[in-house]
Amino acid sequence: MSSLIQIPSLVESNITSYLSALSAISYPVFQSFGISEYSLPCVLVKAGKFSQMEVNTGVFQGSLAVSVISQIDDVSNVLNTHDEIVGQSYEAMQDEGLNTAFNDNGQMWFINLDSIDQEKQDRALITILEYSIACQNLTI
C-alpha cells in the first residue's frame, strides 16, 4: 500500500520539476493546491487519487490537475498573459520531453487531457487542465 501513497507525490514532484524548468512558462510552478499558500500568478500541480490498474503490477492510474492562476489586477494585459501561460502549459504537457523528465523516477504509460475548466473568482482567473495518467513508480 505504500506504493499507492507515494505515487501522487512522485507524479506531482516530477511534473512540477518539468514545468519549472521550461523557460516558456514564466509563472512560478508549485506542487500542491492551496491558493492562499502562494503569491499570484502561479501554476499549481496537484495529483488526485490513484488506484492500481492490475494487482501486483506496480502500475497506477489516477488524475492530475495543472492549474494556471492569474491575478486579475496584476498586469494590464492579464487575459493575454493568462492565455499564453495556459497554452504553454498545455503544449508542455503534450511534449515528448514530459515522458523523458518523468522517466527519471518512474515510467509514464500515458497522459490524456480530460477537460479544461476556466473560472473567474474575486481577483483571480483560474484555468484547470485535468488529465488522466497511468504510471509506474521505479523508486519503490
Q: Output the pLDDT for position 113.
A: 93
Which of 135, 139, 138 is CA-nearest to residue 61?
Answer: 135
Domain coordinates of the chain in residue numbers? 2-137
Place of cell 481577483: 123
From first to last of its 140 residues, the chain has per-residue pLDDT tens of 445 557 888 888 889 989 999 988 999 999 976 666 677 899 999 999 998 887 777 788 999 999 999 988 756 688 888 999 999 999 999 888 787 766 656 677 888 999 999 998 878 899 999 999 988 766 55
CA 103/CA 86 separation, integer angstroms: 24
* Sheet of 29-31, strands arranged across: 29-31, 42-52, 59-71, 124-137, 106-120
Residues 31-65 have pLDDT tens digits of 976 666 677 899 999 999 998 887 777 788 999 99
pLDDT score for 132: 95
Instruction: Give me the architecture of the 2-137 domain, per CATH.
Output: 2-Layer Sandwich (3.30)
